[in-house]
Structures are given as C-alpha cells and as structure tokens.
Amino acid sequence: MRTSVLSAFQIAVTLALTAWMITGFTRLPGRWMRWKMFCRATFSIITLTGTKDGRTEPVNVYDHLSPGSFILGLPQLQAIVDYLVRSGRYDRIDGHGRVLSASGEQRVEVTGSRVVL
Amino acid sequence: MWFFDSLASGFDHPTDPGRLQLFRIVFGAVVALRFALSLGQGGWSRFAPDSLSTHLAEQRLGPTRARWLAAAYRPALLVRIAAALALATGLAPRLALVVVLGGAAMELLYLKSPNAVRYTLLTGTCLLLAGDLGTGLRIDHDPSNANTWAKCLLVLVTTDIYWNSAWQKLRSPQFRSGLYLARWIHVYGTVRARLPYRRQYAVPGLVLRHAGNLTDRDVRLCA
C-alpha cells in the first residue's frame, strides 16, 4: 500500500515536471524551462561623459557591468546612469552610441542623464 | 533500457544507486568550486554601502529586503562553500544539499541571466529527492529502488535542456542568421579595452586577427 502511494506520488510529480517542460516549447509566458542561451541580446556601444562641478571626465559604463558580460540593454544603462548621478559622483551624464538589438541598429543619446533612443 | 523500464514500473525498478552517489560527489565539488570562485571579481564586495549592486537590489526588492540581503550576503557566501564541501565529501549530505540549494537560489536575487543557477537548482532538487545519497566518499553498487526516481528526473531535466535549447535557437532569427555571433564579436572588439575583466573572454588575439571572417557589415544584416 505504502509503495503504491509513493509510486503514485512519484508518477504525479514526474508528469507535472513533464507538463512544465512542455510549456517551454510554447509561447506561454514564463522564465523557467526556457533555455534561451545565445538566442537574443541587446548590445550597446556607448561613450559617456560625466560632469561634476563644471568639470567633465569620461565615464566607462562597462566598469559597472557584472563580470562575465558586456551585454548592455537600455534599462540597465539607465539604471547605471541614475546610480552615478544619485550617488553624487556626477551632476549629469551625457553621451552617445549605438544599440544593436532584435529591432536592428539604432543610435542612442544620453542627454542630461536620460537615455533616449 | 533502465530509464524506460523504470518509467514502465512506476519507478519500482532496481538500479545502481552508485551512479547518483557519484553525481552527488561531482555536483558538490563543482558547486564548491563555483561558490569559491564567486568570491572573486568583485563578488565579495557586492552590496557594499552606496554601491551599484545595493542600488539595484533596492530598486528590485525594496529597501528593507535589500538590507536583509546585504546583511546575509557575506555569511551566506561562506556557509554555502562549507555546505558544498560537506555535500561532496558526504557529511550530512541531505542537510548540506538543502543549504547549497538555498545558497544557489540567493543568486536569483541579483544575477541578470541565471540559467546556470536554474539548472543547478533543478538538478539539485532531483538529487534531494533521491533515497540514498550515500555517506562519505563510499559508492554503493548493490541494486536498489532508492535512487531510481531521482535518476529518471535528472535524465528528464538534462534532456529537456538540450532539446529546448535547440528549439529556442531554431526559433531565434538572431541565432539562425549568425547575427548574435557577429554582434558579439563586433561589440567585443569595439569595447574590449574598456572591459574590467577582459582576460575572461578566451578569444585569443591570433584567432581574432586571422581566423575570423566576420566584418562590421555582418552586424547590419537583417535578422
């Protein structure tokens, strides 16, 4: 009896796992069981300048990315710019560059610490 | 074949439990190495006051939870290394595995693309469901039902990674056209001098200069 209950539990969990895996082959929303390595990325090549008390200096945005990645999307770029301004390191940040994403290549501007496509 | 025999019998099928015990040892050793390496490249100083990582954690989790994470972070880094070593060497392996999974799950709170973490959590959970993890470095080969289910789950999870990854790549115009690779090489070549840990991208200069035929034009191909 105990063995059959255990077996039924194991079969139920296995079926649930299989169903979860099948969702990874559909367009249903979800993050797990979708192994999208090397499938899509937004790359940014960007040159920034920080201004503090009237003096300007180059800002290397790539210094602030996680080790192991130079893939940089626009929300992440905006978050880094916001942090650098909010922490008082710069009064404002400006710059320009290119974004390579699923929608092609686009020019991007950073004007007064705002990232604008 | 043992996998289909196990499925057909509702996992009531004796198999060699040693395979899974060996997997436990290898899993523990690899995770211990990974956890130890995560102390480097700024890992130990993550969530320092006023750092970008703290700012991002506050944005994502709210100030209170970000403060908890920052307080627990360094002790957790050390505890999870000890737990991974205990798992590999078979000292209270089940308890050690629970701590290892908790330590790995912590990374979901701050890593941007945590596929490796997800795979670690899935395979670790399969391991947790095994009936006989063994103790110490001893591997037991007497056939039993104890690890049959866990082995089947591990096979399922790992098979899914390969098939699903192939499926996602087939559906990705960026991958199919080679645009992803062309852009990766182009962006890497352009920003290389500005990367803080540039040696980790193991593309030798010789290969970059002579073996590739990707040009700047290739990053502008339509996906």
Please provide the average confidence, as pLDDT, over all residues in chain B.
89
Query: Above 0.90 for ipTM, yes or no?
Result: no
The whole-angstrom distance between B135's CA and the closest CA on chain A is 24
- Whether B215 shows a pLDDT value over 80: the answer reads no
pLDDT at B223: 46
pLDDT at B10: 84
pLDDT at B112: 78
Average pLDDT estimate for B135-148: 89
For residue A6, name the pLDDT band (cuts at 50, 70, 90): confident
Instruction: Report helix, strand and coil shares of chain A as percent, to nearest 5.
Output: 35, 30, 35
- Whether B211 shows a pLDDT value over 80: the answer reads no
pLDDT at B200: 65
Name the 3-class secondary structure at A43. Answer: strand
Average pLDDT estimate for B190-209: 74
Residue spans of the domains in chain B: they are: 2-170, 173-220
**B193 or B205, higher pLDDT:** B193
Q: Do A79 and B59 touch (CB under 8 A)?
A: yes
Checking B161-169 for CB contacts under 8 A at 24+ apart, the result is: B161/A35, B161/B119, B164/A21, B164/A24, B164/A25, B164/A33, B164/A34, B164/A35, B165/A35, B165/A36, B165/A37, B167/A24, B167/A25, B168/A34, B168/A35, B168/A36, B168/A37, B168/A39, B169/A38, B169/A39
Q: Is B12 on the interface with A (CB under 8 A)?
A: yes
For residue B213, name the pLDDT band (cuts at 50, 70, 90): low
Average pLDDT estimate for B190-207: 75
Tens digit of each residue's pLDDT (9 = 90 or more) over B12-56: 888 999 999 999 999 999 999 999 999 988 899 999 988 999 999
What is the distance between the alpha carbons of residues B51 and B57, in angstroms, rounded to a whole number? 10
Q: Is B158 on the interface with A (CB under 8 A)?
A: no
Residues from chain A that touch B153, judged by Cβ atoms under 8 A, are: 14, 17
